[in-house]
Structure 1
């Protein structure tokens, strides 16, 4: 069997969305599972809408996801000289023809169809021009497009590895354009030529391309070339079952990165949208997926992209990540939040390891470490207003916290077991339940009412910082009176 070759061919005309990323992942997994090659092609023939910036976003996103291509990136816009010989071959074999209809004539025919509430199809008026008529038009310098000559009767069909047998009546297909009047190839023609030249054996893409597949197969047949194997993937939908769309606020791949999603987590989540290893596993490495990936595991039903489920999966990957790596990963977010400098973090590495250890089980993204743990780095926070009403208004609380503060200050280094012993003994001395002191002390030290265990926080902050924050809170409480 010849080498399996697959490709991802995004257009750099918009953001790199999760649907394109999922398609890339499926191609990558199939190539690796079958010992084949994964090719990256940039379909940038829409020069007005394409940009290098968008190309860079695609490359950046794929690299971040650890989706490594074996060849490319090839740019369609740099391959224009490769398409004319194929068009000429089709013209010589009479499988295509020149269409001299002007844009104005075609627009008028389209308008007539609309007025009569009919579906517009090209009427094939140039399909059977004689050689003399063609030469006369060429001699007059008339502009022309190149159209493919399709059968008029019967059915077009192909087998899809996911969708099964697909058919369409030729009466629903018209003689579509292959080459524009300016010589540029139409998308479907360029795709077929590129796939032939790159020896693509399997085309794996979204099921919104099925209509293109019918057209592309006709081009393969007209050229006398073997069709590739097709696998059309289910689309990704939002929870409301509409298509994933930037206009609706859906994020690009790089936005998920910037939000603190781990690449392995997003890869894992996208791979399981529409494909299953046929067991109950949800957390899988790339290597584990490669070992079991095949078309049989793809479900043709459109899949729901659920950001909540992605956050859960990301939290599982955070828990799996060692603390040294986590400190490295969260450092940009700490710096971005103006909580510390890179030098500050690097010179307090062991302390940072303790911070991530107590925060990691409560974080679903890397950004959460900065947002949920900002009090480890800054002491000038405001107290949560609801927390103040609930935790700072008990009678005699300032004096009780003052006594607890003085007791803690006796220790140069205060461990969590010592801190817990002090708080519980003081609560008993005051005739209170321990929670009556634990909650106010937490608010005093962090400004919030929830988070890691209080005594872990006390040990990480250290006695001098605990003393300063308790003194600040005591003064704040006294001023409430």
Structure 2
């Protein structure tokens, strides 16, 4: 086996990719990157009826957004059919595969009888050739499936990097169908050939594949190949404690991009859904790759928590450079805000507002407020702006029309009005916040106003006259 780490992500494009799926890409990607190895994307599209190019596109788009770059691929299984059939022929020539003519109906009857007898339903080896055994008469006009001659006696044993030592008796495994009547190979066989040809050293995947592993190991050994290291990841549960799936309301990975989450924050959050580095909750992508190894993968199912994800995203927004954040928020601003904010003003707005936001959408909403032409409702004015504050507000508007339009200049005007009217800051600030931003709580009032257009501020303060 190669001494260079080679991992893979092998999704089936039969539906959109959600966070539970993409975590199975994150860990093999991280392991390859942290060990200087290679990461391969393989599209397992042998379920022709359910596979779609649209699903492939979402997989690739989601990986691109998260920065999970791959070194090889995408490799499509349907384009490798000739290779699978060639390896299948090798196994047939070696006597490791045999034709089975048992029909589906006969197999159903067999399984029903086994269950009635409280036995594990499994193929009984009727057509398995053995020395001295007489096989049933070959039925006419029936195309057989091909079954793999699973070893009899002994056990399949491997040291799983998550679950520890696993041992499965070969007598628990029946002879797997590895080719359908039309000659097309089945999933477990294709996976082994792919992993063999791609030189995969570590298979890091969901624990729903544990039952496939002993079968795949036996096929590897029949082909005389080294077996990869396996790490079977616990399930990701949704907020209701059920397995995350489309049916249970899981969102496509790409939806989180539309909702204004940062890719590095998502990588941070997903990394902690099954892996840990001490008590570290917030870390950069670079730290994650520096710290990541398979020894600290968790053994228990992890539960998704959107509130925790929003918190993680907020921490990454706070830590991000203002100029970088200013670039990322642009697609989320409405058209008016996009044209109203030059680059410098966007950076200043991000610096002021980011501590109050959990997503880029929230940040954009704040910035939209600064240029909005939407009037404040009469109800809000009635609730937060007492009638007696009208003269000080009018005086503030008068002075703002001629002051230096900067944080310091505006602060001086506010201080002057407070002194003249004998008011405390909250008595003036909250009404002004509601009038100019439609919100009773905002960042520092002087800083907020300095980011807005002077004429717009004065116009909004004039709303009190008409309220």
TM-score range, shorter chain: over 0.9
- After TM superposition, the structure 1 stretch with the greater mean CA deviation from structure 2, 421-430 or 41-50, is 421-430
Is the alpha carbon distance of 1:105 and 1:95 closer, same or farther for their aligned partners in structure 2, counting shifts above 3 Å?
same
**What corresponds to 1:225 in structure 2?**
225
| TM-superposition CA deviations, 1:223-254 (whole Å, max 9, x none) | 22221111112222223322122222222221
**What corresponds to 2:396 in structure 1?**
404
1:430-469 correspondence runs (5 A) = 430-469=421-460
**What corresponds to 2:38 in structure 1?**
37
Q: Conserved in 1, the CA contact under 8 Å of 2:337 and 2:367?
A: no
Q: Conserved in 2, the CA contact under 8 Å of 1:383 and 1:443?
A: no
- How far residue 57 of structure 1 moved from its aligned partner, in angstroms, is 1.1
**What corresponds to 2:381 in structure 1?**
388
Is the alpha carbon distance of 1:103 and 1:241 closer, same or farther for their aligned partners in structure 2, counting shifts above 3 Å?
same
- How far residue 467 of structure 1 moved from its aligned partner, in angstroms, is 0.9
What is the CA RMSD across the aligned residues, in angstroms? 2.5
CA distance in 2, matches of 1:213, 1:383: 63
CA distance in 2, matches of 1:401, 1:173: 82
| TM-superposition CA deviations, 1:247-294 (whole Å, max 9, x none) | 2222222111111111111112212222223x3433333333333322
Q: Conserved in 1, the CA contact under 8 Å of 2:127 and 2:136?
A: no
- How far residue 212 of structure 1 moved from its aligned partner, in angstroms, is 0.9
- How far residue 193 of structure 1 moved from its aligned partner, in angstroms, is 0.7
CA distance in 2, matches of 1:56, 1:463: 46
CA distance in 1, matches of 2:293, 2:366: 41
- How far residue 65 of structure 1 moved from its aligned partner, in angstroms, is 1.4
1:69-468 correspondence runs (5 A) = 69-113=70-114, 118-128=119-129, 137=138, 140-277=140-277, 279-334=278-333, 337-341=334-338, 344=339, 348-383=342-377, 385=379, 387-392=380-385, 394-411=386-403, 413-468=404-459
| TM-superposition CA deviations, 1:448-481 (whole Å, max 9, x none) | 22222222121111432211111123311xxxxx
| TM-superposition CA deviations, 1:301-325 (whole Å, max 9, x none) | 2222222222122122222222222
- How far residue 107 of structure 1 moved from its aligned partner, in angstroms, is 2.9
CA distance in 1, matches of 2:419, 2:243: 59
Q: Conserved in 2, the CA contact under 8 Å of 1:428 and 1:434?
A: no
- After TM superposition, the structure 1 stretch with the greater mean CA deviation from structure 2, 190-199 or 56-65, is 56-65
CA distance in 2, matches of 1:55, 1:131: 50
- How far residue 148 of structure 1 moved from its aligned partner, in angstroms, is 1.5
Q: Conserved in 2, the CA contact under 8 Å of 1:383 and 1:448?
A: no
- After TM superposition, the structure 1 stretch with the greater mean CA deviation from structure 2, 107-116 or 127-136, is 127-136
Q: Conserved in 2, the CA contact under 8 Å of 1:33 and 1:293?
A: yes
Match of 2:8, SS state, is strand
CA distance in 2, matches of 1:384, 1:185: 70
**What corresponds to 1:47 in structure 2?**
48
**What corresponds to 1:479 in structure 2?**
none
Gaps of 5+ in 2: none
Q: Conserved in 1, the CA contact under 8 Å of 2:239 and 2:303?
A: yes
CA distance in 2, matches of 1:438, 1:281: 39
Q: Conserved in 2, the CA contact under 8 Å of 1:261 and 1:314?
A: yes
CA distance in 2, matches of 1:463, 1:37: 56
Query: TM-score of the superposition, structure 2-length normalised?
Result: 0.92
